[in-house]
Structures are given as C-alpha cells and as structure tokens.
Structure 1
Amino acid sequence: MTALSLLLIVSLLLTIILYVPVHSIDPMVIKGYKFFNSVTMNQFFIKGVAYQPLGQNAAFQDPLAQPQACQRDVPLMKNLSLNAIRVYAVDATQNHDACMQSLASAGIYLILDLDNPANSIDRSDPMYYLNMYNSMTATVDAFASYNNTLAFFAGNEVVNSNTTTDASPFAKAMLRDAKAYIKNTKQRYIPVGYASNDDASIRKQLLDYFNCGDPSVQADFYGVNLYEWCGNTVNFNTSGYAARTNDFSNYSVPVILSEYGCNLVTPRTFPEVAAIYGPEMTNVWSGGIVYEWTEEANNYGLVQITTNGTATILPDYTNFQKAIAAVNPQGVQMNQFSSSRQSQQCPPMGPAWAASTTLPPTPSAGTCQCMVSSLSCVSSTQVQTNTTTLGQQLDVVCGLVPCTDVSVNGTTGVYGKYSFCNPQDKLSYEYNLYYNYYNQAPTACNFAGNAKLVSPQRQSDQSCSNSTSTPTSSGAMKALGSSPVGWISILAVLLLFLGTAVLTD
C-alpha cells in the first residue's frame, strides 16, 4: 500500500469519526439569584418535570440507565417544550450516555438528587457517614461531564416538620461536601441546592438555614415542593403563591418550585403555570418542576406506562401542554444584571427549631481505616451483613460503655471523632472499648458471635483523627467514557499522527 492511499484511508476514517453526531448543549451558570445560559447570556427559566418511573412492583430503577424508555419519553417531553427533568435517584455504576444524549438533543437539562434509597439521611435518626459521602461523590463523578447536568440537590425534604429539625445539619454537611468535591475535582462547577417541603411551622427557618453562614456551606439555589394552588377556584393571591413569593423577595440565590401540581382537583388544568412564568413570579422564581411524568399510585402522572412499555398520554399531559405553551417568561441578559442581595441570618434556636449551625465533619476513609486497624475486637461478618442486627448491637453495646466517640447530636452540634464512620466500623470501635473495659478477657469479645478477635495493625488510634482522605474523582478515563467528544478527539489525533508518519517515510 502506497503512502498516498494510506493517507486517503486515514482521511476517510477521520471524516467518518468526525461525522458522528454529538449533540452540544450550553452549560448553565448562576449569577446572583438567577440562572443564565453561559453562552447566550439569556436568563434561564426551568420548565421541568419530575422523572422517576418505577420498575416492576414499584421497585427502584435508574431511569437514566434505560435507553429505550428515554427514547420513548424524551420526544413526548420535547412536545411539551420542557427544558429540564428532575431525577430523584440513580445508580452511579450504570452507563447514562444514551439517555443524557437523548435529553441533550432535545435541549433538556438534568437536575439530579445526590442521595438514593440505600444512602440517604434518615430524619428520624439523622447521621451522615462514609457510605453516604462515597455514594454522593460517585453520583457527581457519573454526571459531572455532561453539559446538560444543570444542578444537584443534596437533600429532599430531609426536614419535614418542627420535630425533625435536628436533621438539618446533616443535610447541610452533605451539601457542603458536594460543593467542595465538585470545586476541587471537576473542570466545571455544577450548583448544589436543597429541596424543602412547605411546612408552615419551619418554612422561614429552613430557607434561612440553607442560606446562612459561610458561602462554602450555603445552598447555591433553593427549591420548594409547593402544592398550595389546587384547582381553578383560587388565584395567585388566595392560593398562597403570593405569600411564598414574598418569602423569597430578597433571597440571594435562585429559587425554584422543585415540585408543584396539586391533584386535589382532577383532572389538573395547571392554572398556576401562568403565574409561575408571568410577571408576578419571574423576578423571584426561576421556574419549576411539575410533578410527575409517569402515573403511579399517587395519581400525579402526565403519562401512563402500559404493561408492554408504551406511553399513553393522560388528560393531565394535554392540559399541561396547553398551559405551558401559553407562557413566555421575560428575563434579563446576564451582562446587564447585577445583584446586591445579602444572605440570611441563621435562625435562632427555639421551640420549633433545634438545628445547630455547627455541621458534622466531612467523612474520611483514612480516619476510619486507621481506627479499625488499631482494634483487637471487631464486628464479625455475621453482624456486618445484617442491618437490623447491626443497629440492635450498637444499642446493646452503647448501653454498656460510652458511645461518645461514635455519637452525633444535630441540636448541640457535638459529633464524635468517629461519628462519620460506617455503622459496622462504629460497632467495632464500641466492641473494642467493651473488650478493653473488661481487661481484654476473651469472653468480652463475642456478643453471640457478632464480635471476633483480630491482631491489631497499630498500637493505638491516637493519630487517626489526622488521617484524612483527599477527595479525588474516579479519573480521566471515566470522564472520557461518558463523553463521546473526548474519544473522538483522541482518535482524530492518533489518525492524524499516523498520516503524518506515513508522509514522512
């Protein structure tokens, strides 16, 4: 084969590779209390839908790892002129390229919750530990390279009443760590917010809490799940929407309706849409997310997924299509906008608010590994694989020896030095404390087979609190794997290099 013919082949391959359609979409940014397109500088109003179709028997499934479902649903979303979806949980180990490309090609952005059913803060017994942190960072890694990843939520209604406000510091700690992780490991910063409920007894405290303190711990934007406008017999003023808009009239970051669409009156006609995207609300709110895409047991669906996997349009879809088509929100250009709004003061403690401004520490794998390596008595696999038994054993041993080092208190802001370690490691620490309390008697390390003796690798845990782990992303190869542009660029360079080498021979 001659050099000329080989070069022609190289050129043909380059043409084929570069012809691969790659749907580009402009990243969004925040300036002051508004979202903007980073390229056109136009203000961005979210016209979104909640998207979390359930699997068989209402089981959790990652909706962005279902390419066929995305191919079915995205055109229907585009017909509604939607520009965003909100997804509540994903599996970070799955591939999301096909769905994210489908969304990007339709001009649709993603707002993604960072927790999932296996790793989320329990408001009744709030904790924030290493598995949650690792799950959060893995989700960030999986979606940070997509330009149509608009934002993340670091919590959804973690606090839902005045009896669960002590969970607030844990949600805010996850938000803080997500912000820091993105800033330290990603080329593009992606905003991190919090989605609250509309509980009258704490709504003011919540919006203040997630907007107060150092900028590193403040939410980049704030969401409200708002269901106050029900039917056509109320309006902007009588529904409560006017009062909620006034609540945020001087808020320093963007505010969105993270859920809306009351279904006490059906079929829904969505009269609130005209207000959300009209002059009464657009200077305060940046749009909203209608609840929800698929019909589930709660009767909020825009479409019904049949047993054979097809989507049937419901009356709510048609009514919402009419409502959203009639609006045209007017915004400002980013280069013509400035804001001097200040962040809120943290809410004071009181009968309805018991959340400390001192947040739990960032979970550190190094600290927990160091601590476990110093123990002589640890939890066995018998208890580590049984969540119920693990919790029961922690209760038992904490009734026998102090648990200060592994305990948390979101009201006082006191967090033990190993409180962020995973439950099995905390149990090991407590078993070892009990074992030492009884002079290392072999019978003190058993607990019906839930504890076992091991040879420690360290003499003590005295220096373990200084053994921190530096946040790192999962690497360049994963980033390339989720971006066809990266691989195309590499192949193009290699082929050009090959062609040049042939010509010089």
Structure 2
Amino acid sequence: MVKLVVSSILNLALSLVLGQAWALNPISIKGTKFFDSVTQDQFFIKGVAYQPRSLAAGFTDPLSKPADCKRDFPLMKDLGLNTIRVYQVDPSLKHDDCMKALEDAGIYLILDLMVPKHSIVRNNPEYDINIWNNVRSTIDAFEGYSNTLGFFVGNEVTNDNKTTVASGYVKAMLRDTKNYIASTSSRKIPVGYANNDDPDIRLQIQSYFNCGKDEERIDFFGINLYEWCGASTTYNTSGYAERTKDIASYSIPVFLSEFGCNSVTPRTFPEVKSIFGPDMTDNWSGGVVYEWSQEDNNYGLVQVKPDNTISLMPDYTNLKTTLSLLHPTGVKMSAFKETRPISTCPAITPTWEPSEKLAPTPSSAACDCMMSSLNCVASDQAVATTESLGTLLNTVCGMTSCDDISSNGKTGVYGKYSFCSPAQKLSYMYNAYYTNIGKKAAATCNFNGMAKLQVAAKSSDQGCSSAKDTPNLDSKTGMSNAGDQAKSDSFMVALAVLLGVSVLAI
C-alpha cells in the first residue's frame, strides 16, 4: 500500500517537473478491476464511442478538432460519462487541445491502435512494418497523457470460426505493443482487445488473449454486446446473464466495449441499470455506449447539424436519466485481494487454428538493410500502383520461391522478410529472380517496366534479417525512451529524498 501511494505521488511530481501537469489521475489495474491510481477508488467505465464522421469527407481524426472537442466534451460530462472510445486517429496531428478538453471534463480515453489503412485483415492476415510503425507512432502520440486509460490492439479482427488465424497476428502485435510501452512510457498503460459476440468462438477468443506469457496477454477485455434490445428484455432473457457467467472466473477486467441495441427506438437503455447495478458490477467494469453522433447506422446520442452545432436526441436524454440514478462505488484498491488464474490456451481444432508460434516483430531496420543489398528493385511505377502490388507479387512468386517473404499463421512459419512492406517484398523477389534465374542479365530486371536496376550498397543481405529498430524519442519529454526507466527510477529516488519519503518505500 505504501509503495502504491508513494509511487503515485512521485509519478505526479515527476510529471510536473517534466512539464506535464496531469489533471486526471492515471487509471491502473489490480486483478479484475480498474482503480484510480491515487485515490484508490474502483473505476467503472461510463463511456461512449466517439468517432464523428462523414462518408463524403472520408476519415477524420476527432481528437485533432479542438472546436468540436470543446463543443462535445462538456455535453458528455453533463451526461455523466467519464470515458470515450476512439477508433482511429492520425498520430501526426496535434492532440493537446482535445486531450486537455477531455481532462477538463474529467474524461479518459481508450484508443484503438489499428486503422483501416494499417490493419490486420481477417481473411488474409499479415503483420508488417506499415502496421507496426503506425501503432508505434500512435503510442508515442498518446502515452504522455495521464487520461489515456488504455489502448485496444484489435477490434473484432477474428469474427467467426473461419478467420481465427488472424488472432495469432493480433497477439504478435499485442506482444510488441506491451513491450514497446514498457520501454518507452513512464507508467504502465494497459492494452486490451475488443471481441464480437459470435457464439462459435467467443470463449476461445476470451481464453486465447488471456493465456500464455505475460507479454502476450491482454490487460483488459472488451465485449461488443448488442443482445439487450428494448424494455421488454431483461437481464436474464437478454443473454447478459449468460455472458456474466462466461467471465465469472476471468482474471482481468472486463467491460462492454460497445453496447446499445437500436432495434427499438428511441432507446431507453434498460441494460444500464444492470451494467452499473448489482447484476454486473461484481464482474464487469462498466461499458461504452455506441455511439456519440448520429450517423447512417442510427445509433447517435446527438445530431451534428450542418452549421456544426449540436442537437440532443431522445437517446441522450434517456441515457442521462438512467445514468443519473446509478453510482457504483466498488471496493478500494488496498482492500481488494482477489486473484484468479490466467486462462488456459484453447486447443487447436479445425475451427480454432492460430499457431502457438507468433509472427516476428516487424523491423524497418531489417527491411531497409535488405533493400540496400538489392541490385534489382521495384520501379517507381510499380510502387505507385499500390493496389496492384499483390498482383505483381503473385506473378513473380509463380516464377520463383517466395518463402522468404511469406508468413503462415496456421503453421507458424514466417519468412525472414515476411514483415516488410509490399513494395519491399516485391523488390526482394525481383532481385531473387534477377539473381537466381535471370543470371543477372539486365533484361531479366524489367518485368514490363515494373523493375529497375540499381547499384547495391551492400554485397549481400547477410545479418539484415536480425536488425532491430530502436524506440522513438518520447513525444512529450524529448528524452530517449529506450532504457529510460532506470533514469526515471533514479529521479524518483531523488524526489523521494526531497519530499522526505523513505527510499525503502519505493
């Protein structure tokens, strides 16, 4: 207990010295529950999915629009919310203003790390440097905010028993995400997975992401649940009671990462009384209602007008009325002693197929090193036709072995450059054909203008596949992240002395 309190005080002092005046206490995990790391109070997620969008405008980052954030977040506070879930952001944009507006409203962020452009595709899964670099950049952009509650490493990636191999690639990304946060962040930011409610694989998914090595297991679990539809449904008839039984022995926090069936409108949210009442608070940590703004799917709590102002919909008023009556308190962190064993990994079957051997960590350094050893590479024309890279790869892979760039999440066999970008893989294969089959004849490095010759900087790719990336500089402090935990620990000890706290308590 002393260690927890002292650590929280010193983390706060460290953040102030580094220029991060945290307005909200970071949320931590103990066993199956979330807690405020300073007050030690149990934390229940009262959240909303926040991704205002326009199909005509395409993807927009909602946390890069300060005017919209300052318009929306006070309304969320008035509604009684303390968390938003955001599905995609652009890590290159500025987010300080929106994250400060969130803090001012007392609201935390749970952020999905994959975006459609850089994601593991369930039917043809791969895990490459484009995905991983975007994940790293997103972590860098948001790990410095104290109200970043956690990250989702995936959302319904495997959604039936025909796409289970994709979960192995997600778990590889989970491993890398947790290791990266551990090496770059001054605090532990939890990482979770959001699952759909498919009856054929929901229990396997639940077990799979909570089994194995610590660095390969999620810290929390989300379930997108839409089984409770309308006031005529009850806790027992909705399926909520059954889902509660499913997680009764689970060892980490579980919450509804999406809820709010809209087959009956306007929604009156009768399920909220169970989510934040005696039916569920012993086993669940709250939920995220879907969704904030009215879109084509008709789930909105508010309507964004053409002049960018907001009108409240009946769903907003109904949810506010229901939430205002519910104030779960839970237990204090110091008093919570329960521990549960981690899950047993599901057996490999015809309907559950991911290999125990996970895909390797993508490395830009390895791929760049490899590229520097090639004499025949993809031309600018080939690289520019991004949508055709797969077709070009299939063509050359029909002429020579592509084992070095291929991956198989079912067998657990991964080529040494399986994580490189499609353009880099194409270059590697053009060079393999040019060298081994074309005997380095200039005419064999053409492929109808899709390949070109270059002078290689290296005589071979020996040692390239083992080259590793280094963590980025911390986006908030400018300090090197790799190995800085020791510096942070030393600084905290110095602060302890200044504060008159026993170093033995740290």
TM-score, with length taken from structure 2: 0.89
Structure 1 position 327, deviation (Å): 1.1
- Secondary structure at 1:257 match in 2: strand
2:443 equivalent in structure 1:
443
Q: For residues 100-123 of structure 1, give each alpha carbon's deviation from its aligned partner in whole angstroms, at most 9, with x where no partner exists.
A: 111101110000001122211111
Q: For residues 20 and 194 of structure 2, what CA distance do their matches in structure 1 show?
A: 35
Q: For residues 389 and 477 of structure 2, what CA distance do their matches in structure 1 show?
A: 37
Q: For residues 469 and 96 of structure 1, what CA distance do their matches in structure 2 show?
A: 26
Structure 1 479/115 Cα, relative in aligned 2: closer, same or farther at 3 Å?
A: farther
Structure 1 365/22 Cα, relative in aligned 2: closer, same or farther at 3 Å?
A: closer
Where does the alignment leave 5 or more consecutive residues of structure 2 unmatched? Answer: 1-16, 481-506
2:260 equivalent in structure 1:
261
Give the percent of matched residue pairs that are identical in Structure 1 and Structure 2.
Answer: 54
2:26 equivalent in structure 1:
27
Structure 1 position 56, deviation (Å): 6.2
Is the aligned partner of 1:40 residue 2:32? Answer: no
Please show how residues 248-397 of structure 1 align to structure 2 within 5 Å. Answer: 248-397=247-396
- Secondary structure at 1:259 match in 2: strand
1:234 equivalent in structure 2:
233
1:469 equivalent in structure 2:
469
Structure 1 29/379 Cα, relative in aligned 2: closer, same or farther at 3 Å?
A: same
Q: For residues 242 and 470 of structure 1, what CA distance do their matches in structure 2 show?
A: 46
Structure 1 position 386, deviation (Å): 1.7
1:503 equivalent in structure 2:
none
User: Which structure is larger by alpha-carbon Rg, 1 or 2?
Assistant: 1
How many aligned positions are there?
Answer: 462
Structure 1 position 472, deviation (Å): 3.0
1:157 equivalent in structure 2:
156
Report if the CA contact (8 A) 2:144-2:476 is conserved. Answer: no
Q: For residues 340 and 143 of structure 1, what CA distance do their matches in structure 2 show?
A: 30
Q: For residues 402 and 22 of structure 1, what CA distance do their matches in structure 2 show?
A: 56
Report if the CA contact (8 A) 2:140-2:472 is conserved. Answer: no
Structure 1 position 245, deviation (Å): 0.7
Q: Which amino acid aligns with 1:353?
A: W
Q: For residues 242 and 478 of structure 2, what CA distance do their matches in structure 1 show?
A: 46
Q: For residues 206-238 of structure 1, give each alpha carbon's deviation from its aligned partner in whole angstroms, at most 9, with x where no partner exists.
A: 001100100110001011100001111111111
Q: For residues 329 and 351 of structure 2, what CA distance do their matches in structure 1 show?
A: 38
Structure 1 position 344, deviation (Å): 0.7
- Secondary structure at 2:448 match in 1: coil
Greater alpha carbon shift after TM alignment, 398-407 vs 286-295 = 398-407
Is the aligned partner of 1:202 residue 2:201? Answer: yes
Structure 1 position 479, deviation (Å): 8.1
Q: For residues 22 and 349 of structure 2, what CA distance do their matches in structure 1 show?
A: 52
Q: For residues 421 and 350 of structure 1, what CA distance do their matches in structure 2 show?
A: 30
Report if the CA contact (8 A) 1:23-1:101 is conserved. Answer: no
Q: Which amino acid aligns with 1:343?
A: I
Q: Which amino acid aligns with 2:200?
A: S
Q: For residues 206 and 358 of structure 1, what CA distance do their matches in structure 2 show?
A: 17
Q: For residues 55 and 77 of structure 1, what CA distance do their matches in structure 2 show?
A: 21
Structure 1 position 55, deviation (Å): 3.7
Where does the alignment leave 5 or more consecutive residues of structure 1 unmatched? Answer: 1-17, 481-505
Structure 1 190/375 Cα, relative in aligned 2: closer, same or farther at 3 Å?
A: same
1:166 equivalent in structure 2:
165
1:12 equivalent in structure 2:
none
Report if the CA contact (8 A) 2:22-2:145 is conserved. Answer: no
Structure 1 222/351 Cα, relative in aligned 2: closer, same or farther at 3 Å?
A: same
Structure 1 position 442, deviation (Å): 1.4
Structure 1 position 283, deviation (Å): 1.3
1:8 equivalent in structure 2:
none
RMSD of aligned alpha carbons:
1.7
